[in-house]
Structure 1
Amino acid sequence: MRALYSAICCLFLFSIGASAQNSGDCRTAIPVCADAPILSFTDGSGDIDDFDPEVITQSGCLEKGSVSSANIENNTSWYVFRAGTDGQIGFDLEALPVTPGGILTSELDFALYGPFDQTTGQNFCTIVGDGSAQPIRCNYEVNDTGFTGIGVNPVNGREGAPFVKGSQNTYDEWLDVIAGEIYYLYINNYNTNFDGDAEPFSLTFTGSSVDEDQNTALDCTLRDEFLGLDIIACEGDPDIILSALNSPAGPAIANVTWELDADDDGTYETVLASGPAATEITVTSPNSGRYRVTIETTLATIITDDILITFYGVPELDEVRVIDDLVNSDQTDPYNIEVVPLGDGDYEYAINDGEFQDDPQFFDVPPGINTVIINDKNGCGTTEPIEFLVVGYPKFFTPNGDGIHDNWNVLGIETLTNPTVYIFDRYGKLLKELDINGGWDGTFNGRQLPSSDYWFRLDYNRDDEGVVVARSVRRHFSLVR
């Protein structure tokens, strides 16, 4: 359970007022609060592409450059915050020179995503990265004051407004928040994309909520979760770096211990690293589990935090369970199936090139060969179309010689044991006897029969819990000319 033991206020002020760690990845976004300026830097794009450079070329006002390596996320820094009260929030993002009094070489842009509900269990970084969640505030205008943000530019007093390209207004309008909402702030620096140098900045939260009480405007307890929010990753993803330096202790560390609860059952069975130099730990795919860090500070206080990291692979199909068809149920109109995947990922399903749905059950499935696709909603992959069979019969056929629906038979009959189909007219006259080969072409003694409803009886054997039982099904279908 996340907790902060015996930490004192001076530790908070030291870590927040001093240079902080940077995270170039959304999944390790650093939790922040509004009680002091945050000093950090942009220093690269992180280990993972939050925005696939071949797929996502724009997010809000942010655009991919003409150079492939430019991407949307060069020289980035990610933060996450939680609204502590209902009210108005903004921030001032100030680019700083690399050396005091030096030349300002960076020009900062930002995008703000949210609001997100932490109780939903969604992977927020996935829906940000795939474009499902677009920024609610975004600005990349030319910055001639060194400031960008939300609210009012402190240099020239210009009020923020909805983004308009070419407006040269580097501020967006105030943000109205509700307590408990989660927001992700993405900061980048396009001015020196390719030199690889860290570019410092200052982030200060503003707004009426901050003016009223900077300690409650944003939920400062989120900062106690300094390892970040729980991470969902894909097998094969780059390593995840967890850092104890993001804790309220800052660099005032006497000893660090990292532990792993691989089954997330409350038992930390493995000590992964320990010692004053063990300030970071690398988590590699596919080592899922709950990771806990315990920090002893130089002031004899103890700080602890934990984070659940779950790796998912490409989805796999266990089975397609046929709930209703000619051989599984007396309820055979319509036919219903349920897709059963392997694993416990966050999946969605589509059959026969249709739309994806969260529900693994599909109703009114056509008889015969169908296909199913399983997609992992965390972005960990999609199966190829997988065929499955529903035993049933076409409701009509059109024997007109065009090669489409010219013959009629029970679809999937070849999977049954000793099947025979008898076709009758409405008066009960036997017209045709069918087996697994061929089908009925709509004739009797070489004469074409008229458009009408016809009846069939399907006889077959079925194994019911080890006992072979003779079964018979009677239905009707239409001949259309």
Structure 2
Amino acid sequence: MRALLSAVCCFFLFQVVSAQNSPDCRTAIPVCADAPILGTTDGGGDIDDFDPEVITQTGCLEKGSVSSANIENNTGWFVFRAGTNGQIGFDIESLPVNPGSPITAEWDFALYGPFDETSNENFCTIIGDGSAQPIRCNYEYNETNFTGIGINPIDGREGAPFVKGSQNTYDEWLNVTAGEVYYLYINNYNTNFDDEPEDFILTFTGTSVDEDQDNALDCTLRDQFLGFDIVACEGDPDIVLSALNSPVGPSISNIVWELDADDDGTYETVLATGAGQTELTVSSPNSGRYRVTIESTFGTTVTDDILITFYGTPELDEVRIIDDFVNSDQTDPYNIEIVPVGDGNYEYAINDGEFQDDPIFYDVPPGVNTVVINDKNGCGITEPIEFLVVGYPKFFTPNGDTYYDTWSVFGLEELTNPVVYIFDRYGKLLKQLDTNLGWDGTFNGRDMPSSDYWFRLDYERDDDGIVVATQVRRHFSLVR
């Protein structure tokens, strides 16, 4: 273990007498390397960060043999930001429940990252759904009561890539770049957990820490003691914000919690005041920016704010047809825009295709299509919703297999006074259509040959309140 500078001794004393605990990823505790951190787990937690019905294995962590257990069992979450380039590691040391009692905790860990704060991703969502896998992970039995990244301080065993059954409780060093964000998940997989909180000491190590303990990890992140902004789903369990994770710890003379519901810079509501108001419970769907101001017994004041946004299941407002026979003069290709209700982190797919972030789709098939909207934060997905693009297919195959056996203008009923005339390549009129029954590829009972055919569509369009006679001339192919 390294010696601490005298300048941080007071903070160290606070850390070792005030254990920090956040059992949920979305309220992960920001930490840095300037002092050991006393952490604890108490079996609590508002949400399953890993859906036990879906995620049974992530990295090296696995769902246990106990039917009621899952990957997340008696856990703590921390987040840190690299302050310099270099090598980072950490030690997780088991502590007894009571002084002199046997150590019963069995600590495992998983480290996720690196994450980029400018990406606008919800890091806890992609961790929880398995999109982000651990870059370091260990659940071997801790014979020395230590686990972590780097070198075991008891037996000097150096960390290595995780191999199940290796009995090495340490993983290899982590090389970081300044500005990268990492989430550390610490798990006490003790199946006989009896609700007695169990403590550990988290100490950061590595050459970066040896060279510059105060800056190896960005300690300004700790000023964001309420954590990163939270995106949650309507109906999710309550979110509990804690003032005890602030740099002043329990040395509190007064606390004020406020709400800026519109996130416009005006905190219009005082939610709670008093030294005993160390926690604030935020319930769905009360989105807004929450701020806490803490006055310490030493006369100092610290403050932090956090934006909490609750999203509901996506809803479709409309499918805006940009280009088709009804909405523009461009009649090929057909383009559309998906317009959801409200703001959200959505992705879109049409006709069972791949999802895309862009709500605009180009070259959409004419006729009836389907759209699906997915909330990327895991708040739900719509059922397929149909929409109509008025246009014509470029070919048809009248071979009796029930697929593309006739040709017509899809959505003809959406037009005003439509009439379709079909011609052969020499201009001979073969068929007149004013319904969607379509042309079967015959003339006077005879099959027409494979070739290109022409059509003319006459209809009336409402152009800003003025009825305009409109005519479209195009060609299509008959394929036998």
Question: What code does the residue aligned with 1:81 have?
Answer: F
Question: What code does the residue aligned with 1:324 have?
Answer: D
Quote the offset at 1:437 in angstroms: 4.0
Asked if residue 277 in structure 1 is aligned to residue 276 in structure 2, the reply is yes
Corresponding residue for 1:458? 457
Contact 1:31–1:79 at 8 Å: present in 2 too? yes
Quote the offset at 1:367 in angstroms: 0.8
User: Runs of 5+ in structure 1 lacking a partner?
Assistant: 1-7
Quote the offset at 1:267 in angstroms: 0.6
Contact 2:8–2:34 at 8 Å: present in 1 too? no
Quote the offset at 1:334 in angstroms: 2.1
Cα distance per residue 1:72-125 (max 9 Å; x no partner): 001100000011111110000011110112101111000000001112221110
Matches within 5 A, 1:320-339: 320-339=319-338
* Counterparts of 2:471 and 2:67, CA distance in 1: 64
* Counterparts of 2:381 and 2:84, CA distance in 1: 40
Matches within 5 A, 1:146-295: 146-192=145-191, 194-295=193-294
* Counterparts of 1:275 and 1:214, CA distance in 2: 35
Corresponding residue for 2:4? none
Specify the SS of the correspondent of 1:17: helix
Contact 2:18–2:249 at 8 Å: present in 1 too? no
Cα distance per residue 1:105-150 (max 9 Å; x no partner): 1110000000011122211101101111110000011211100000
Change (3 A) 1:13 1:95: closer
Corresponding residue for 2:3? none
Corresponding residue for 1:387? 386
Question: What code does the residue aligned with 2:79 have?
Answer: V
Quote the offset at 1:193 in angstroms: 5.2
User: Runs of 5+ in structure 2 lacking a partner?
Assistant: 1-6
Specify the SS of the correspondent of 1:245: coil
| Mean CA deviation greater in 435-444 or 265-274 | 435-444
Change (3 A) 1:359 1:223: same
Corresponding residue for 1:434? 433
Corresponding residue for 2:314? 315
* Counterparts of 2:215 and 2:98, CA distance in 1: 33
Contact 1:14–1:250 at 8 Å: present in 2 too? no
Question: What code does the residue aligned with 1:280 have?
Answer: E
Specify the SS of the correspondent of 2:302: strand
* Counterparts of 2:192 and 2:184, CA distance in 1: 19
Change (3 A) 1:335 1:68: farther
Asked if residue 49 in structure 1 is aligned to residue 35 in structure 2, the reply is no
* Counterparts of 1:454 and 1:374, CA distance in 2: 38
* Counterparts of 2:380 and 2:192, CA distance in 1: 30
Contact 2:409–2:436 at 8 Å: present in 1 too? no
Cα distance per residue 1:318-377 (max 9 Å; x no partner): 111112222323333322111111111011001111111111111121111000000011
* Counterparts of 1:20 and 1:207, CA distance in 2: 23
Cα distance per residue 1:274-301 (max 9 Å; x no partner): 0111111100001111111111111111
Corresponding residue for 1:296? 295
Corresponding residue for 1:5? none
Specify the SS of the correspondent of 1:381: coil
| Mean CA deviation greater in 186-195 or 355-364 | 186-195
| Mean CA deviation greater in 326-335 or 251-260 | 326-335
Quote the offset at 1:12 in angstroms: 3.3
Question: What code does the residue aligned with 1:376 have?
Answer: D
Question: What code does the residue aligned with 1:31 have?
Answer: P
Contact 2:254–2:295 at 8 Å: present in 1 too? yes
Change (3 A) 1:44 1:437: same
Cα distance per residue 1:424-461 (max 9 Å; x no partner): 01111111100124111111111111111100011111
Quote the offset at 1:192 in angstroms: 3.6
TM-score, normalised to structure 2, is 0.96
* Counterparts of 1:11 and 1:444, CA distance in 2: 96
Contact 1:456–1:476 at 8 Å: present in 2 too? yes
Contact 2:412–2:436 at 8 Å: present in 1 too? no
Cα distance per residue 1:232-269 (max 9 Å; x no partner): 11111100001111111111111100000111111100
* Counterparts of 2:262 and 2:10, CA distance in 1: 33
Specify the SS of the correspondent of 2:244: helix
Asked if residue 402 in structure 1 is aligned to residue 401 in structure 2, the reply is yes
* Counterparts of 2:38 and 2:114, CA distance in 1: 24
Contact 2:396–2:479 at 8 Å: present in 1 too? yes
Specify the SS of the correspondent of 1:426: coil
Contact 1:313–1:381 at 8 Å: present in 2 too? yes
Specify the SS of the correspondent of 2:124: helix
Asked if residue 12 in structure 1 is aligned to residue 7 in structure 2, the reply is no
TM-score, normalised to structure 1, is 0.96
| Mean CA deviation greater in 150-159 or 18-27 | 18-27
* Counterparts of 1:396 and 1:437, CA distance in 2: 16
Quote the offset at 1:399 in angstroms: 1.2
Question: What code does the residue aligned with 1:137 have?
Answer: R
Change (3 A) 1:293 1:11: farther
Matches within 5 A, 1:340-359: 340-359=339-358
* Counterparts of 1:194 and 1:439, CA distance in 2: 71
Quote the offset at 1:67 in angstroms: 3.5
* Counterparts of 1:240 and 1:287, CA distance in 2: 10
Contact 2:410–2:436 at 8 Å: present in 1 too? no
Corresponding residue for 1:476? 475
Change (3 A) 1:11 1:235: farther
Quote the offset at 1:65 in angstroms: 1.9
Quote the offset at 1:66 in angstroms: 3.5
Q: Which has the higher contact order (CA 8 A, sep 6+)?
A: 1
Asked if residue 378 in structure 1 is aligned to residue 380 in structure 2, the reply is no
